[in-house]
Amino acid sequence: MRRGFVISLDAMFALLVAGVLLGGAAWFAARPAPDGWERADLRAHSAGLLAAMEDSGALARAVAGNSSEAHIFIDSTPTHWCGQLLIYNSTGSEIGALTKSDCQVSEEWVQSRRSFAIVDVNATFYSAVLRSWVKP
C-alpha cells in the first residue's frame, strides 16, 4: 500500500510538470506574432538605407541642396515604416531635414548614423542621421 502511494505522488508530480510545460508552450503560441519591424530590425533597415543613399550619391546631392533622390529613397520604404533624415555638417549644425510623406514625427524612434565625406578640392565631412519608427 505504501509503495502504491509513492508511485501515485510521482505520477501526480509528473502530470503537474507536464501541465506547466504545455501551458507555457500554449502561452507562447498564443502571443501575437512579431510584425518584423522591431527596434533591432528598424535600426538595421535604417543603416542599410543610409548606406544605399551614400553609395548612390543621394546624401551628397542632399547636402548640395537637391534632396529629391533622398526623398525617393525614404518614400520607397514599406507603408508602415516612417523615417526622418537629418544631415549635419562637421560642426554638428543641422543643414537639412526631410520626413517621409504621410508620416508624423514620433516620440518613439530608433536612430542610425552614418558619416560621409564629400571630396572636391578639400574633404568635407558630414553626418546623416535616420530616425525611424513604425507608423501607428
Q: What is the pLDDT of residues 45-55, one digit of tens each?
A: 899 999 999 99
Task: Give the CA distances from residue 74 to residues 13, 30, 50, 55, 100, in Å, rounded to whole numbers and listed in that order.
Answer: 57, 34, 10, 15, 6
Task: Give the CA distances from residue 95 to residues 10, 24, 63, in Å, rounded to whole numbers and listed in that order.
Answer: 72, 52, 7
* Per-residue pLDDT tens digits for 1-47: 555 555 677 777 777 888 888 877 777 666 654 455 577 888 888 99
Residue matched to cell numbers 502561452: 27
Of 13-22, 60-69, 73-82, 120-129, which range is least confident? 13-22
28 by DSSP, 3-state: which?
helix
pLDDT number for residue 79: 87
Percentage of the residues of the chain whose pLDDT score is greater than 70: 88
* Per-residue pLDDT tens digits for 98-121: 999 989 888 888 999 999 999 887
